[in-house]
Amino acid sequence: MSIPLAVLSPADTAACCTPLAAGPLSTEQAEQVAPLLKALADPVRLRLMSLIASHDGGEACVCDLNDAFDLSQPTISHHLKLLHDAGLLDRDKRGVWVYYRARTAALASLGALIGCPPA
Amino acid sequence: MSIPLAVLSPADTAACCTPLAAGPLSTEQAEQVAPLLKALADPVRLRLMSLIASHDGGEACVCDLNDAFDLSQPTISHHLKLLHDAGLLDRDKRGVWVYYRARTAALASLGALIGCPPA
DNA sequence: ACAGGACATCGACATCTGTCAATATAGATG
DNA sequence: CATCTATATTGACAGATGTCGATGTCCTGT
């Protein structure tokens, strides 16, 4: 199933700069956006996202990610699942390895909703 | 005490567009940013921020905010405290009333870190 | 000084979250 | 098939989080 980003992604929000300040969010909108922020709101998951997003080709193998943390393999797998379930990561299994790719469109929409640097 | 936004606010991040993808976040950076996201990662607090940020003069009285939710007054007070402690809201007591103001600079820095719409 | 209203703090509670060790699954290779 | 390796799932547990009712604090009028 695809990720419902309708709240975030319409072209008019691309006009940029704190739609948060553009008008009160509806309860429904808030309840759709909060889970995305919650998925990002953890130091480990933030680092995972930045590691993946900044990796060559915009994707990274789990095997590389495990080594970057002082955490157990199941814990990393758990965080990756949360990010994937939230729609912030795409998953691609190739042979024995699994590659995750950052959904930059989702990140951009989220960032735009929170606030952009004032032109 | 002032809020440490050094991780976010230097002018070079204003260049915009997913610094998340610009390079791996350090553990320290991730641990500084995550609490800000965590403060925002709740439907009630998201609505509070948008209500305050979009209110006349960029500030709102608690008395108005309480009415906008189906929650007890202590609960709203609690959420406001979290946002204030995270550095996303300024607090200003005037007489019997307390006014909260959105820290748009903090929001903009956060938004820029997560991602902006590709130019 | 007193009473009333606006907001914060406290204590309690159920639920959610991050972590691990143990185990399962699935693909590659002998 | 048997085995090894990479990743996911499960079960358990300590600690964090959202909510409330009760109570405290501080300002303003009377």
CATH number of the domain at A59, please.
1.10.10.10
pLDDT at B91 over 90: yes
In angstroms, the separation between the Cα of residue A107 and the nearest Cα of chain B is 5
Using the predicted structure, report yes or no on whether residue A116 has a pLDDT greater than 80: no
User: Is the model's pLDDT at B7 over the cut of 80?
Assistant: no
Return the CA Rg of chain B.
15
Kindly state the average pLDDT of the residues B38-52.
98
Q: Is position A2 within any domain?
A: no
pLDDT of residue B116: 75
* A78 Cβ nearer than 7 Å to chain C strand: yes
Backbone angles phi, psi at B89, to 5 degrees: -130, 140
Q: Do B114 and A116 touch (CB under 8 A)?
A: no
In a domain, B60, yes or no: yes
Q: How many CB atoms neighbour CB B74 within 10 A?
A: 8
Find the domain containing B80 and state its range: 11-114
Find, among A37, A26, A96, the residue nearest to B83 by Cα: A37
Instruction: Report if residue B2 sits inside a domain.
Output: no
Q: Is residue B5 part of a domain?
A: no
CB-strand contact B34/C, under 7 Å: no
Is residue A3 assigned to a domain?
no
Residues 6+ apart with CB under 8 A from A15: none
Rounded, the Å distance between the CA of A47 and C1' of D30 is 60
Task: Report if residue B85 sits inside a domain.
Answer: yes
Q: Å from A34 (CA) to D14 (C1')? A: 25
Smallest CA–CA separation between A109 and chain B, in Å?
7
Q: How many domains does chain B have?
A: 1
